[in-house]
Amino acid sequence: MINNKDQAKKKKKNCSFCADKIEQVDFKDVHKLKRYLSERGKILPRRITGTCAAHQRQIARAIKMAREAALIDYVFEG
């Protein structure tokens, strides 16, 4: 069971896009999008990245568009 003390210890992650007041996520900004990909090339979930739901959807859409435009690889070989 999770106690209230355990929940209070968890630090809430803030959305970096909301903090910077960014309305739209650009698919051509490859360096920023790569922060939201794992080592294997998978899109990281909200609970790890700390983004809000709206920006997480935009990130996922932008990553998919960047993959189609061959700006980002589909799978990173390690």
Percent of the chain with pLDDT over 90: 77
Tokens of 44: 């990281």
Q: Return the structure tokens found at 71.
A: 């700006």
The pLDDT tens digits of the residues spanning 33-62 come to 999 999 999 999 999 999 999 999 999 999
How high is the pLDDT of residue 76? 81
pLDDT score of 25: 94
Rounded distance between C-alpha atoms, residue 74 and residue 42, angstroms: 8
- For the chain, where are the E strands, in sequence order? none
